[in-house]
């Protein structure tokens, strides 16, 4: 099977490229290298097994040329996260909406039958019931969530009108060591701050909760979606383990104290606008229909991230 990956030089994308190549697939990657780096893939010899293009998903002609001959597309390229989208709104809309439409147009013109889209829990906004199922109302609280919801609607449009089997995966809070680990979500940020001797910063009173999912489990969901048959216009929650941010900070601080012997402090700052208070996922649909099962616990991931950080610091000495 020949699979195209947009954003294949990024955190999740490069991990997916590696898994797909190891699974015997032909892989072509497209990335403008704004947030990614092909270096880790090349270091593993992946440039000999996968075609690595440098191109922007908003360039329709280049995208069509790059994706030609593919059987399916994993669409991960985006301007990610609440902060970047708030700081660069024009770029957020341009990349996350127009870029997504260009990828789908290329799929239509090239007769590519499947597109799997990287969406986000941000499409839900403030939950009205927990745990959140895929039928929960969609009312995003920030521009990032709005662009991801618009991307999902584009997926539905191309399924309804052109028969492309589209699947949108709503990722929880992604963490863990990938191939190109450049993702500063709360868990890796806590580990980095603790190792740097900084206080672990909590926005609000610490009772906010998130569903945390390891990058390897995200890639598992992507691979299962790409291999699925007869599913189109579908959405799935992709999660792992739910924990309050305050409890997470305390557990990370305790783990780092045991590892390094250094005391780790915790401080609180005012809540940030545009963020949900409580959040947890219902995963029954993806487990039942795709056979997904998260394999990484939060603390196993914290141990992995800590080991990775300590190894990276030792190399710089």
Residues in the chain: 317
Of 148, 172, 158, the closest CA to residue 233 belongs to: 158
Told to judge if 144 belongs to the known catalytic residues of this protein, a careful annotator would answer yes
Q: Which two tokens stand for residue 143?
A: 């521009």
- Which residues contact residue 303 at a Cβ distance below 8 angstroms, ignoring those fewer than 6 apart? 255
Residue 199, classified by CB atoms within 10 Å of its CB into exposed (0-12), middle (13-18) or buried (19+), is middle
- With H, G, I as helix, E, B as strand and everything else as coil, classify residue 180: coil
Instruction: State the sign of the Cα–Cα–Cα–Cα dihedral 85, 19, 173, 283.
Output: positive
- CB 71 within 8 Å of CB 2: yes
DSSP code for 279: -
Of 204, 316, 199, 299, the closest CA to residue 258 belongs to: 299
Q: Which of 38, 124, 144, 183 is catalytic?
A: 144
- With H, G, I as helix, E, B as strand and everything else as coil, classify residue 185: coil
**Max Cα separation, the chain?**
60
Distance CA(280)–CA(282), nearest Å, equals 7
Distance CA(264)–CA(213), nearest Å, equals 24
Distance CA(187)–CA(226), nearest Å, equals 28
Cβ atoms within 10 Å of 145's Cβ, excluding its own: 23
At 301, give phi and psi (nearest 5°): -70, -40
Which residues does the annotation mark as catalytic? 144
């Amino acid at each position: 099977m020949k699979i195209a990956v947009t954003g294949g030089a990024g955190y999740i994308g490069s991990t997916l490229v590696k898994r797909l190549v190891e699974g015997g697939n032909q892989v072509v990657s497209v990335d403008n290298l704004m947030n990614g780096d092909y270096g880790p893939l090349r270091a593993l010899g992946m440039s000999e097994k996968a075609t690595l293009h440098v191109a922007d998903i908003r360039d329709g002609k280049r995208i069509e040329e790059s994706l030609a001959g593919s059987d399916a597309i994993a669409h991960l390229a985006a301007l990610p996260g609440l902060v970047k989208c708030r700081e660069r709104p024009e770029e957020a809309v341009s990349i996350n909406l127009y870029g997504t439409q260009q990828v789908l147009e290329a799929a239509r013109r090239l007769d590519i039958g499947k597109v799997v889209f990287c969406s986000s829990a941000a499409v839900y906004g403030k939950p009205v019931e927990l745990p959140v199922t895929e039928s929960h109302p969609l009312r995003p609280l920030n521009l990032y969530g709005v662009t991801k919801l618009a991307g999902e609607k584009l997926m539905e449009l191309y399924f309804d009108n052109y028969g492309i089997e589209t699947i949108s995966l709503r990722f929880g809070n992604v963490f863990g060591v990938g191939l190109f680990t450049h993702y500063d979500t709360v868990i890796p940020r806590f580990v980095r701050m603790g190792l740097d001797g900084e206080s672990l910063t909590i926005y609000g009173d610490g009772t906010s909760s998130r569903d945390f999912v390891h990058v390897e489990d995200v890639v598992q969901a992507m691979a299962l979606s790409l291999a699925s048959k007869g599913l189109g216009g579908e959405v799935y929650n992709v999660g792992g383990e739910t924990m309050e941010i305050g409890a997470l900070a305390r557990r990370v601080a305790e783990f780092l104290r045991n590892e390094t012997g250094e005391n780790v402090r915790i401080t609180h700052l005012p809540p940030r606008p545009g963020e949900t208070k409580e959040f947890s996922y219902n995963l029954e649909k993806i487990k039942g229909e795709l056979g997904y099962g998260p394999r990484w616990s939060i603390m196993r991931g914290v141990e992995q991230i800590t080991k990775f950080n300590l190894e990276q610091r030792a190399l710089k000495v």
